[in-house]
Amino acid sequence: MPLAVLAMAFTTFLVVANIIAVKIVSLGRWEVSVSFIAYPLTFLVTDTISEVYGRRTVAIVVWTGFALSLLVVLLTYVGGIIPAASFWEGQGAYDDILGSVPRIVLASMVAYLISQNNDVILFHIIKKVTKDKHLWLRNNGSTMVSQALDSAVFVSIAFAGTVPGGVLWELIYVQYVIKLGIAALDTPLIYALVGFVRRIEGKQSVQA
């Protein structure tokens, strides 16, 4: 049961991040994609699954999330091409927001496959080197590297040609800094979450 809940939470955070990523917000003097409120949480969930259930299980979750995100793109596209009712005036807004989803999801999926697989691999390398100790180190270490890859790849594909070059680099930098902050804050959460899941499952960490 905990694994199913974690998998659903992961997919929810991923799909929501893909949909809202088209919106760029200002945080003081910085601009950033609003997806930062959801996407970093996917790493918290995958690290928890990695820690408790192992590398094979988290790989299944990651690839399932990939497939479901592609399904969202397909359904969003089909919803857009079905003729609207004559009285409905929201087609322009639909196209402006959800019409951008395919490019956003393409960017997200490329970044996702690179960063999530890197996160899983690096997490287990650190876990092996530290002999299953220092959960905080593998959680933060794997996430720091993975989020750097994710931010650079996602922003480059999603927004290249649509925003000035200076803004593009700013988006990458600010998004990464925010994600690092969230990653640091989620350290107590992963200890609590891993402990909670272990108590329910009655198991310790899986080594592979």
DSSP letter for each residue of 184-196: HHTHHHHHHHHHH
Q: What is the distance between the alpha carbons of residues 207 and 51, in angstroms, rounded to a whole number?
A: 8
Provide the domain limits for residue 148.
Answer: 2-201
Tens-digit pLDDT profile for residues 5-16: 999 999 999 989
Q: What is the distance between the alpha carbons of residues 111 and 154, in angstroms, rounded to a whole number?
A: 5
Tens-digit pLDDT profile for residues 135-181: 888 888 888 898 899 889 988 887 787 777 777 888 888 888 887 88
Q: Is residue 184 part of a domain?
A: yes
Tens-digit pLDDT profile for residues 67-89: 988 888 888 889 888 999 999 98
Helix 55-81 vs helix 40-53: crossing angle, to nearest 10: 140
Q: What is the distance between the alpha carbons of residues 5 and 196, in angstroms, rounded to a whole number?
A: 13
Q: What is the pTM of this model?
A: 0.78
Residue 206, pLDDT score: 52
Please answer whether residues 139 and 47 qualify as being in contact, where contact means their C-beta atoms are separated by less than 8 angstroms.
Answer: yes
Q: Is residue 38 part of a domain?
A: yes
Q: Work out the number of other CB atoms within 10 angstroms of the CB of residue 92.
A: 9
- Return the CATH number at 23: 1.10.1760
Q: Which of 28 and 193 is assigned the larger pLDDT?
A: 193
Residue 97, pLDDT score: 76
Q: Is residue 207 part of a domain?
A: no
pLDDT over 90 (residue 204):
no
Q: Is residue 42 part of a domain?
A: yes
Q: Is residue 141 part of a domain?
A: yes
Residue 11, pLDDT score: 93
Six token digits for residue 127: 């876990």
